[in-house]
């Protein structure tokens, strides 16, 4: 029997992030995601707090989705210097023509028109390494090391 699709409302996502941070702090996130013990604790903790019986694959799918959204967000932010900023919505203040141009460049940027990613601080603290391709002139490697960001540009040969 197939497992039902996981429901990821704002509350469930917040709990997921909180539990992942706890497992990271316990040392149960040695690489890109959780160790087997970390997954076990995540499954049990999530069920205890939500009464939802999600499995490892559902958590991995959510993680991959959040990582992709975060990568898009960082690429978007790197392209949007010099505009107004809305702290409440965590996004850029720009006119319709600017947003249309952004949508033509990458349709996924349009998701940030009304609001940036939820739980951004938690996601930042969980992601160890993200590769963001920006132009044919370079690749940006984003390292989150000991609570701060280090952005290095590696020039590619054309």
pLDDT in tens, 68-88: 888 888 888 777 766 777 777
Give the per-residue pLDDT at 94: 82
| Domain ranges within the chain, ordered by starting residue | 10-155
Count other Cβ atoms within 10 Å, centred on residue 156.
Answer: 11
pLDDT in tens, 112-124: 888 878 777 777 7
DSSP result, 76-101: HHHT-TTSEEETTTTEEE--HHHHHH
Give the per-residue pLDDT at 115: 81
């Amino acid at each position: 029997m197939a497992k039902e699709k996981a429901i990821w409302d704002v509350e469930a996502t917040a709990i997921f992030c909180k539990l992942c941070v706890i497992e990271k702090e316990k040392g149960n996130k040695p690489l890109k995601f959780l160790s087997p013990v970390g997954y076990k604790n995540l499954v049990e903790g999530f069920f205890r707090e939500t009464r939802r019986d999600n499995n490892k694959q559902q958590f991995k799918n959510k993680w991959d989705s959040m990582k992709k959204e975060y990568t898009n967000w960082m690429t978007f932010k790197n392209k949007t210097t010099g505009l107004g900023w809305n702290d409440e919505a965590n996004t850029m203040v720009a006119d319709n023509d600017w947003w249309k141009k952004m949508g033509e460049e990458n349709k996924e940027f349009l998701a940030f028109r009304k609001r940036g990613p939820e739980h951004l601080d938690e996601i930042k603290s969980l992601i160890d390494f993200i590769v963001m391709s920006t132009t044919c002139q370079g690749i940006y490697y984003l390292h989150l090391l000991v609570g701060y960001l280090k952005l290095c540009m590696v020039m590619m040969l054309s």
